[in-house]
Structure formats: C-alpha cells, structure tokens
Structure 1
Amino acid sequence: MTHAARPLPRAYVQRYRGWFATQFEENKAWYARLAGEGQHPRAMVISCCDSRVQISSIFGADSGEFFIHRNIANLVPPYKPDGDLHGTSATIEYAVGALKVSHIFVLGHSQCGGVKGCHDMCAGKAPELEEKTSFVGRWMDLLRGGYENVKGIKDEDERLTALEKQGVLTSIDNLMTFPQVAAEVEAGNLSLHALWQDIGKGQLQCYDDASGAFQPV
C-alpha cells in the first residue's frame, strides 16, 4: 500500500534540528517531566487556524500550559450528540472531562478570513459558500445569527469587527449548551473568557459582561 506522504522539506528539517539543539537541549529536564507526568494544562484555548494568531506567544506560555484547539473562525457548535464527527466538541469534552481545565479562552481576531466569508455569504456575495458541498460555508452557518445582529452597521470594517466579536460570543453561548461545561461553570470549577486580538496593533480585548462590550486587557 502506498501513501501520499512526502519527505519533510529541508528548510523545516533544519529548523527542527535548530530547535532540538537549543531549546530542547536547554530544557530537556522539563520535557522529560512532561512526558513522564502527562499533561496538566490549566486552560483550554479555542482559536482560529489563522497563521497570524500566535497563541502561546501572546501569553508567554510554556509547553504543557495550554490545551489548544484551532478551527476556522474559532467557532464552537452547539451540543449535538448525533453520532456524527465533531472534532471541536470532542476536544471540549476531553478538556473539561479528562483534563479538568479551569479556564476556556475563546480567542477571536481581526481580519478573520472565515468571518469575512460568512459576512459575504450572508450578504449574497459568496455563492460558492452557499453550496452544500462547502465545508467552510456549512461551518460558518454557525455565525448567521451573529450577522443578523450586525448587518445594520453601515461601515464595512466596523461591521466585520463586530461580527468577529459576535463569533466569540456565539462560541461562549454554545459552550454553555454542553451539560458538562455548564455544570462545571455553575460549580465554580470552570470559567469562560471571550477574547479578541487586533493582529496589527497587538492589542487584546476581553468581553466585560457588566458593560456589555469588549474592553482592553
């Protein structure tokens, strides 16, 4: 049986060897401890796949500190145990049930391509995303309600930013449909955090329930 996998490009081989010779060698006792004791992250992070979002970097996180799940537009679907494949839901179940994380961060960001696709689809400008065969389109259906909340904003840039933040809040609300998440939140064992980062400015905002808005951290 043959497979489509190919050898790792030389540039990445060199980068790996550089990491192994420096960061790993300097911290190999820590890596050995992680391997021996298993992972015990305090927080789960749900963020976008966007290559510009550097989760560990912006929080200065070490290996083993975050349990990270990335998907298009950092969305969480509602709880739906229907027997289908649910990568995001499975990750949440494992983080809360097995790892007992104390925090879940949902991290949105500026210039999100997935959110822009949802915006254009809902506005009738992206018929390819309306196709039943579009995985991205059907995933971004999760944010259609958010689009209805912001479509009255006249400036498109402001509307897109507002929709990005709606995506974060949609995910927070959908997290609470998971019985295990809701139970842990109500017991005071788990807290949910809605975050949004401006990539160009490096600024991080956190949703404040008292003001009903995202505020600078």
Structure 2
Amino acid sequence: MLAQPFPNYLHDRFRAWKLAKYDDSRAWYARLMSEGQHPRAMLISCCDSRLDTVSIFGAEPGDLFVVRNIANLVPPHAPDQNHHGTSAAVEYAVNVLKVAHIVIVGHSNCGGVEACHDMCSGAAPELEKSTSFIGRWMDILRPGYDRVHDEKEEREVALVSLGHEAVRTSLRNLATFPFVEESVKAGMLTLHGAWIDIANADMYGMDPATEQFSRL
C-alpha cells in the first residue's frame, strides 16, 4: 500500500479536540451513538477548504448531514451501474434520516466553477479529456454555463454568475429525484439555495420565485 503513518499534526489536533470538546460531552456523544442521528437539515456544499459550513452555521455533532464535493453539485437522477456518492447521500438523507431541509451552498472564488468556465470556453482543453475526473464532474454544470454565458461579461462577474447557476443547477437536478419530489409535494421537505462571499462573510439567499440571489 502507498499509505504512510498518520500525520503527527493531525494527531495533535485530534488530541486537542478530545480534551477541549469530547471530555466535557461524553454523555452527549454516547446518546448520539445509542439513539442515532436525527439532523434537521442536509447541506450540500463545496469541498473548498476555505468554506466550513459546519462552523458558519454553528452546528454541533448531530445537527447537520453534510455532503461536500467539487462546486456543490448534485447530478441529475440517473439510476445505473456507476458510482453516485452524492446521489446516495441525498437518498439516505431524504428516505432514512427524513431531513426537513436540503440547502445547496455555493461560494465565491470556487475552483470547480472556474474549471467549468475555462473548460466550456475552450481555455482548458485538458478537462475535455475522458480521463479527467474534474472535467466529467463539471459536465453537470455545462448546461448552466450555456444558460448564463455572456461574452461581454468580465471574467470575475462571469464566475459569480456561474457560481449562482451552480446552485440553481443542483436544485433543478434535485427535483428530478422521485423521492425528493414526493417529499416536497407532501410538505415534508423544502429545498433552498445560498451563496457565500467568503472574503466579506456575506450570505446570499436564492428567491425561489425569481431564482435571483440577494444578501440575507
């Protein structure tokens, strides 16, 4: 195997967490293990290291069911023999955990959104290769690029527009899952979109009627 011994700096941080958090909450962790998890919401956010949605929303263990992937994308419903990590998580959250909310959380300066923009504009031909995992994942957002692309927009503005569209695309794709649609119609589940400007610590919510984003 290529694996090496566990990094010392992470081990040190784990020990510090255990002393600061776990030792004073042993009973709570024991309860979580015995009673299982009952999160109120599922967050689908980017795996960007600068975006810590658990901390941003002040969550404690058991509060949120979190999935992180490149550019906070949800693929369309496609039952086949391929691996579908995000889709499996959505199925578990809705059918097993019975979460009340699913929130798609995008963010500024997203590397995945930038990769999609460059790939679709022809500036990153390496991502068009069938062997590119990033490129094939960002194909999910390719229709979104076509919807919002404006040659007159400056790059920075275009990336914000595409970042917003990544949230909309994921919400549209969520609606293609039959069990999501059924839960929404039954009033048991609501879907939401948000986009966070990391530099300014501003959050923008998506208006479901207009699909536009405004600061909350």
TM-score bracket for this pair, using the shorter chain length: over 0.9
Name the structure 1 match of 2:128: 130
Residue 5 of structure 1 deviates from its aligned partner by 2.2
**Aligned position for 2:153:** 154
Deviation at 1:212, TM superposition (A): 3.5
Give the residue type in structure 2 aligned to 1:169.
Answer: R
Contact 2:168 2:211 in 1 (8 A): no
Which of 126, 135, 144 lines up with 2:142 in the alignment?
144
* Cα deviation 1:93-148 (Å, max 9, x = unaligned): 11101110000010000000001000001110001101010010011011111111
Taking only the aligned residue pairs, the percentage that are identical comes to 53
Amino acid at match of 2:208: D
Secondary structure of residue in 2 paired with 1:22: helix
Which residue is 1:192 aligned to? Answer: 191
Structure 1, 171-180 or 146-155: larger mean CA deviation: 146-155
Q: Which moved more, 1:72-81 or 1:205-214?
A: 205-214
Task: Name the counterpart of 2:180.
Answer: 181
Shift of 1:4: 2.4
SS at match of 1:206: strand
Q: Distance in 2 between matches of 1:60 and 1:142?
A: 30
2:100 equivalent in structure 1: 102
Residue matched to 1:10: 8
How far apart, CA to CA, are the structure 2 residues paired with 1:143 and 1:207? 18
Q: 1:42 aligns with which of 40, 43, 54?
A: 40
The one-letter amino acid paired with 1:79 is H
Alignment-mate amino acid for residue 158 of structure 2 = R
* TM-score scaled by length of structure 2: 0.97
Alignment correspondent of 2:170: 171
What's the Cα RMSD here? 1.0
Q: How many residues align?
A: 215
1:26 is paired with a residue whose SS is: coil
Helix, strand or coil: the match of 1:51?
coil
2:75 maps to which of 74, 77, 84: 77
| Deviations 1:136-175, CA, capped at 9 Å, x for gaps | 0011011111111222152211110000010000000000
Do 2:207 and 2:213's aligned partners in 1 also have CA atoms closer than 8 Å? yes
Partner of 1:20: 18
Deviations 1:162-198 (A, max 9, x none): 0001000000000000000000001110000101000
The structural deviation recorded for 1:211 is 4.1
